[in-house]
Structure 1
Amino acid sequence: MTSTDVSTDAEDSGPSGYAAARLRLLTEGTRSGPPRRAALARLTDAWLSGLFAAGAEGARGVSLVAVGGYGRGELSPRSDLDLLLLHDGGDSGAVAALADRVWYPVWDLGLALDHSVRTPAEARRTAADDLKVQLGLLDARHVAGDASLTAGLRTAVLADWRNQASRRLPELQELAAERAERQGELQYLLEPDLKEARGGLRDATILRAVAASWLADAPREGLDDARRRLLDARDALHLATGRATDRLALQEQDQVAAELGLLDADTLLRQVYEAARVIAYAGDVTWREVGRVLRARAVRPRLRALMGGGRPAVERSPLAEGVVEQDGEVVLARAARPDRDPVLPLRAAAAAAQAGLPLSLHAVRRMAAGVRPLPAPWPAEAREQLVTLLGSGRPTVEVWEALEAEGLITRLLPDWERVRCRPQRNAVHVWTVDRHLIETAVRASGFTRRVHRPDLLLVAALLHDIGKGWPGDHSAAGEIIVRDVAARIGFDRADVAVLATLVRHHLLLVETATRRDLEDPATVRAVADAVGSQGTLELLHALTEADALATGPAAWSSWRASLVTDLVARVAAVLAGDAPEEPADAAPTAEQERLALEAVATGSPVLALRAQTEPPAGEPPSGDPEPLGVELLIAVPDQPGVLPAVSGVLATHRLTVRTAELRAIELPDGVEGTVLLLNWRVAAQYGSLPQAARLRADLVRALDGSLDIAGRLAERDAAHPRRRGVVAPPPRVSVHPAASRQATVIEVRAQDAPGLLFRIGRALEDAGVRVRSAHAGTLGANAVDAFYVTGPEGAPLPGEEAVSVARKLEETLRG
């Protein structure tokens, strides 16, 4: 059906004809994107024109005006209709009747309508008071009635906008910044708002408004295509959900991707992120230009008066060879020759980041258009300028984005293309892969005084996740890639080997510290063998902290920092030649012995809670140290079911277990019985900690079977069902036979949930194994728990038995 056919249907058949034609248009498989949006606008124009004509018999000086997105002719399937009934102030009764004849059929069809009835003077006054109204009127388009009335309003509104630009544009910028603070950056969100988030459709509309002011204009290259991609995604979202929504929720992304003919949800998000990045960068450049123009307007009259009416000279301050500062931006010197100076982009970027200034759009485009490729390996200056750029702290981000917007980054580092705009479907990560790498370099720049080779630290920070663009283990893939990249950058063989080790093992310290027993010599020796040298260990320690801090708030804490620092100290001792001794069973402390004797005397559990505080790693103690959690000491007469009972009670009291150790202790001579001592560190999920007496009372009931822990946890799960559409990957249980000589290490990876440790403990108890210690860790929605288990006699499990226990545990968790 052609657009002409659509219009005829709407006119001939009234509301029912319009509804039928609209449905056919939205379900056509051959038409989508801009053609469908334009056709839908034409169809709606024809229908509304018919309604207007039928109700406006004898009325003069009235017109129907489309504003906002409808005014631009961009109707998504569930878009609102933004309409203004404009009149010259004549017969108010006739105008009101006409409004009813137009508005009610729209409502009867269930279409969302944003409507108003105003004279041109009223419309201008409202726009003067409400910036959003003024933005909508900038896109005013005549639909029906007196065309001269509409044209007059458009001319007046544009004139008002241009005359008031110096006042209204700063107000508009402030509103955009507030909205970005609320909604976040579209290019990094897992569930972005396509309209309101920074870099979304609202910002694209704002750029059109700035251009209409004639004060400044946005970079046009790629902007229309970026806007079209977001509109296409919103169209598909409306069709997939049947709702007027701009929020691209996780459970709808696969369907939206299929609607657009894309491979999968990741491909969809990457396209959305790329579009948002173009719009956000164009906004940054545009607002800088607006600020420059407004500053110049404020200063120019005074300068001209001081110079007797002559033109003021433009100041240019040298920053580096071929690079100068001009009017708050970094530009190329007049004599700079990008075609003869391949290091110029890195030199200009480093100078800009060091000065804390933005790179001029003109300069970046000039370099992108004419710069020669760097030779391989890079000259020493290029490598030094890259390191300087990476070590400049927070200003690095804006400069890097400017280079990336014009394709210079992928020319310098071709492997960057695979991680560019790549989403990370993990709630712990707040950035895309590429932005996370830059954020890690920014964090690492604060640690350069801690290491002997800051250049290796910064480059490792930039490249540590470069393997995420490839299938398989990203650390293993990254090691291969970084060897090639580091050699091209110009590092020698020894440095390339160090960088490869850092990338291969960038997760080693934090994973070992939080998931393994640091008292076990095998743990420390394994890390020492992987790291190889004191210098590499020093770099890896700094990289670990920078990586975690750049991941998100949930990835690092003083508790994790303390564990990593402890591990690093132990590994450093091994690398220095001090081999760790096989640990003997440590004698109980005085407090532990007191609790154990009380447990024997009473025949029931005894527990104590003690807060633990320590300053963050690398910082001096302060008057208000950060809590690491609470140390929970429990002494229990030896009996079956202790681990599931304790972990279950803690779960019912909403306590998170960070580390857990369970062992039998020897009692003084003359005291009969065996006591299990549990030394755990816990933290409240929210609120305050429960009283020790309440925990003890529930533990007694759990051990004697009168407290139904499984039932309580099931009731809580039923009261808080999982989010619709969120499907967790299945749990995985594995055995690590070489991780310890004293015990068998069983590692559990599963979706974190209340009572998970209880379920694991009960399954291990049913399997007849003894848990020597447990190391619980949570990253976002994922739990990674390691259990050091032995047989009843205290020896590691034979290989086949260990595999059997792991398999049964995995089956239990899946069930």
Structure 2
Amino acid sequence: MSLATADAARSVLVAARAARTAELDRWLGSLLTDGQVPEDVALVAVGSHARRELTPGGDLDLVLLHRGRADVAGIADRIWYPVWDSGLRLDHSVRTVHEARTVARGDMKAALGLLSARRIAGDRALADELRAAVLADWRADAPARLGELSSMCRERWDTQGELAFLLEPDLKEARGGLRDVHVMHAVAASWVASAPGGRVREAHDLLLDIRHALHDVTGRSTDRLVLQEQEAVARALGLLDADVLQRSIAEAARAITYAASHLWRRVDRFTTSRARRPAAPSASASPGADRRGVERRPVGDGAVEHEGEVVLARNADLNDPALVLRVAAAAAQAGLPLAPATVDRLAERAVLPRPPWSAGARDALVSLVGAGPAAIGVWEALDQAGLIVRLLPDWERVRNRPQRNPVHRFTVDRHLVEAAAGAAALTREVARPDLLLVGALLHDIGKGWPGDHSTTGAVVARDIGARLGFTEDDVRVLETLVRHHLLLPETATRRDIDDPVTVQTVTAAVSGVPGREREIIDLLAALAIADGNATGPAAWGAWKAGLVAELARRAAAALAGGTPPP
């Protein structure tokens, strides 16, 4: 199916939501007025109805506002009973502005709903008064409320997982889902951070369309996209298949997660600064401080730390082809995030290395992934800015690529980065740490091409190795690592390692680079550990690790011309 088909399918869903919202507004307004407009009463929508995002399975969430009218119960019955009779699910309340304001200050869910309140019918001034009062309270209480909201989000993420990497995700509640965008708007309403940008809005709209299609396909108000529904949902959206659907979800969710991470860092700085306001800078402030007295601490060549993020130094040379990787490596090695504005500037203006890369650019890449887990967030920042696919064009094939089995925790590209980050802890076990790190980063690169991913991946790794400027022998080692990255775990768990033929099979496989066979065995053993741990608990454990280590030991002894000691 073409992109035009998908766009047309999504346009139909957008129009359907708009039409349904307009129809509901007219009907609910007629129930309130009943031929006459009552004074001092307003019907207000909150939640998805207020945002005009009501999908077929969505609930109505309504508030009937009044100014202390004694007959408000009768007016409420005039609205609630027809809604119930229609079969729509309804969450309702009857409040004065003071009551609604009190509830919002004590109930986070109510506060978030009322922040998006929209008048449907009735007294406009009353509805405006409610919204202004709730916003004023939200902004006045921001230090405490945003800390509470942050804790709620983290608890939800722990429960629901990360949308981009789930086989059967909850489109609304998982990390990177619709709920996170609503929360971002709430934080923006406090004036602590800016409203979500265009990429986040596009990601939100895509997830909303997927949720809409899911409700249409299932006829239920579910937000969990289970495997058996994914093909039908993909067709409803004009997409080729479930893989394309999951890849689209992963891309959208990662854009939201990345933006939300930056937003919560701003919130943390805000709440911390409110709790501990620094004194104004004196005339004797250090030269590295800016006009607000904030230190700019050097963390690498061309990079400085500023307010907990890494930014470009004033003398950074944007024409230096290694600058992007060097600044990224400095951030990862310091355990700090890259400032989004810095990433954007690098993407727009910095010169990138041309193949074959210089030793400086290659060393910076190795330093980046060699930082361990801290490299993952920095890599994600570069990826969100489109820099990774410009540095490594073959990365596009595995970017956001789903792995539709319960063994793998991540998409292919994220698995590769996780494996490389895990390999950083094993660099002391091998003679060539740089080849281990790059091999881990590329070991599943063949999953973007048809056929056996180890075979196709070896060809791609050979091309990338040459692009990175490795020597011909090193390129052949990388090619061997990728081609045989499953050799040790598969052989150790499927064959008898006491059989001499088993060891001969392993030593024969690594004989393609004369003189470096032992080095390759050590690299494969370390790569097996990094790959298994990055895959998930079901892929690696003590039993498997023991077998792989013993097979590697016996192969190394055979290459040395002897037998392994007991």
Which of the pair has more CA radius of gyration? Answer: 1
From 234, 259, 282, the counterpart of 1:282: 259
- TM alignment of 1:81-120, pairs within 5 A: 81-91=60-70, 94-120=71-97
From 461, 466, 470, the counterpart of 2:445: 466
Residue 220 of structure 1 pairs with residue 214 of structure 2: no
From 411, 423, 428, the counterpart of 1:449: 428
Structure 1 residue 579: Cα displacement: 8.0
- TM alignment of 1:541-560, pairs within 5 A: 541-560=525-544
Structure 1 residue 394: Cα displacement: 1.1
| CA deviation map 1:318-360 (0-9, x unaligned) | 122211111111000122232x112111011110111111111
Residue 211 of structure 1 pairs with residue 188 of structure 2: yes
Residue 493 of structure 1 pairs with residue 472 of structure 2: yes
- TM alignment of 1:787-798, pairs within 5 A: none
Structure 1 residue 29: Cα displacement: 7.3
SS at match of 2:93: strand
Distance in 2 of aligned mates of 1:461 and 1:31: 42
Letter in 1 for 2:415: H
| CA deviation map 1:704-758 (0-9, x unaligned) | xxxxxxxxxxxxxxxxxxxxxxxxxxxxxxxxxxxxxxxxxxxxxxxxxxxxxxx
Query: Measured at CA, do residues 218 and 492 of structure 1 come closer, stay the same or move farther in structure 2, by a change above 3 Å?
Result: farther
- Contact 1:387 / 1:459 at 8 angstroms: preserved in 2? yes
Match of 2:139 in 1: 162
Letter in 2 for 1:574: A
From 74, 77, 80, the counterpart of 2:59: 80
Match of 1:269 in 2: 246
Residue 190 of structure 1 pairs with residue 167 of structure 2: yes
Distance in 1 of aligned mates of 2:429 and 2:529: 12
Distance in 2 of aligned mates of 1:442 and 1:112: 47
Structure 1 residue 229: Cα displacement: 0.3
Structure 1 residue 221: Cα displacement: 3.5
Match of 1:323 in 2: 303
Match of 1:239 in 2: 216
Distance in 2 of aligned mates of 1:225 and 1:451: 45
- TM alignment of 1:151-550, pairs within 5 A: 151-218=128-195, 220-300=197-277, 302-303=279-280, 312-338=292-318, 340-532=319-511, 533-550=517-534
- Contact 2:300 / 2:330 at 8 angstroms: preserved in 1? yes
SS at match of 2:371: coil
Match of 1:51 in 2: 31
- Contact 1:33 / 1:231 at 8 angstroms: preserved in 2? no
Match of 1:561 in 2: 545
Question: Which moves more between the two structures, 163-172 or 289-298?
Answer: 289-298
| CA deviation map 1:14-50 (0-9, x unaligned) | xxxxxxxxxxxxxx97952332212211111011111
Distance in 2 of aligned mates of 1:421 and 1:158: 38
Distance in 2 of aligned mates of 1:318 and 1:485: 32
SS at match of 2:551: helix
Distance in 2 of aligned mates of 1:29 and 1:224: 18
Hey, which of these two has a bigger chunk of helix by percent?
Answer: 2
Query: Measured at CA, do residues 574 and 220 of structure 1 come closer, stay the same or move farther in structure 2, by a change above 3 Å?
Result: same
SS at match of 2:12: coil
SS at match of 1:446: helix
- TM alignment of 1:676-687, pairs within 5 A: none
SS at match of 2:361: helix
SS at match of 1:234: helix
Residue 133 of structure 1 pairs with residue 147 of structure 2: no
SS at match of 2:280: helix
SS at match of 1:372: coil
SS at match of 1:319: strand
Distance in 2 of aligned mates of 1:370 and 1:306: 35
Structure 1 residue 167: Cα displacement: 1.5
- Contact 1:66 / 1:143 at 8 angstroms: preserved in 2? yes
Match of 2:514 in 1: none
Letter in 2 for 1:253: Q
- Contact 1:183 / 1:198 at 8 angstroms: preserved in 2? yes
SS at match of 1:258: helix
Distance in 2 of aligned mates of 1:42 and 1:87: 23
Query: Measured at CA, do residues 105 and 410 of structure 1 come closer, stay the same or move farther in structure 2, by a change above 3 Å?
Result: same
Distance in 2 of aligned mates of 1:449 and 1:408: 30
Structure 1 residue 179: Cα displacement: 0.4
- Contact 2:9 / 2:237 at 8 angstroms: preserved in 1? no
Distance in 1 of aligned mates of 2:340 and 2:37: 56
Letter in 1 for 2:496: D
Q: Give the alignment's Cα RMSD to 1 decimal.
A: 1.9
Query: Measured at CA, do residues 541 and 185 of structure 1 come closer, stay the same or move farther in structure 2, by a change above 3 Å?
Result: same
SS at match of 1:438: helix
- Contact 1:33 / 1:228 at 8 angstroms: preserved in 2? no
- TM alignment of 1:605-644, pairs within 5 A: none
Query: Measured at CA, do residues 267 and 299 of structure 1 come closer, stay the same or move farther in structure 2, by a change above 3 Å?
Result: same
Aligned length: 548
Query: Measured at CA, do residues 311 and 453 of structure 1 come closer, stay the same or move farther in structure 2, by a change above 3 Å?
Result: closer
- Contact 1:34 / 1:228 at 8 angstroms: preserved in 2? no
Letter in 2 for 1:303: A
| CA deviation map 1:83-117 (0-9, x unaligned) | 001111112xx211121111111111211111111
Letter in 2 for 1:315: E
Query: Measured at CA, do residues 559 and 43 of structure 1 come closer, stay the same or move farther in structure 2, by a change above 3 Å?
Result: same
- Contact 1:185 / 1:199 at 8 angstroms: preserved in 2? yes
Distance in 2 of aligned mates of 1:58 and 1:202: 35
Distance in 1 of aligned mates of 2:520 and 2:10: 58
Structure 1 residue 522: Cα displacement: 2.2
Structure 1 residue 426: Cα displacement: 1.3
Hey, which of these two has a bigger chunk of strand by percent?
Answer: 1
Structure 2 residues without counterparts, runs of 5 or longer: 1-7, 512-516
- Contact 1:237 / 1:256 at 8 angstroms: preserved in 2? yes
Residue 143 of structure 1 pairs with residue 123 of structure 2: no
Distance in 2 of aligned mates of 1:236 and 1:219: 24
Match of 1:807 in 2: none
Query: Measured at CA, do residues 75 and 342 of structure 1 come closer, stay the same or move farther in structure 2, by a change above 3 Å?
Result: same
Distance in 2 of aligned mates of 1:275 and 1:515: 40
- Contact 1:390 / 1:445 at 8 angstroms: preserved in 2? yes
Distance in 2 of aligned mates of 1:423 and 1:145: 49
Per the normalisation by structure 1, the TM-score is 0.66
- Contact 2:372 / 2:422 at 8 angstroms: preserved in 1? yes
SS at match of 1:32: helix
Residue 35 of structure 1 pairs with residue 19 of structure 2: no
Distance in 1 of aligned mates of 2:308 and 2:412: 31
Per the normalisation by structure 2, the TM-score is 0.94
Residue 64 of structure 1 pairs with residue 64 of structure 2: no
Structure 1 residue 545: Cα displacement: 1.1
Structure 1 residue 526: Cα displacement: 1.4
Distance in 2 of aligned mates of 1:359 and 1:248: 33
Structure 1 residue 306: Cα displacement: 10
Distance in 1 of aligned mates of 2:331 and 2:455: 34
SS at match of 1:430: coil
Question: Which moves more between the two structures, 197-206 or 411-420?
Answer: 411-420
Structure 1 residues without counterparts, runs of 5 or longer: 1-27, 581-815
Query: Measured at CA, do residues 304 and 485 of structure 1 come closer, stay the same or move farther in structure 2, by a change above 3 Å?
Result: closer
Structure 1 residue 58: Cα displacement: 7.0
- TM alignment of 1:688-707, pairs within 5 A: none
Distance in 2 of aligned mates of 1:368 and 1:502: 31
SS at match of 1:222: helix
Structure 1 residue 298: Cα displacement: 4.2
Distance in 1 of aligned mates of 2:281 and 2:524: 58
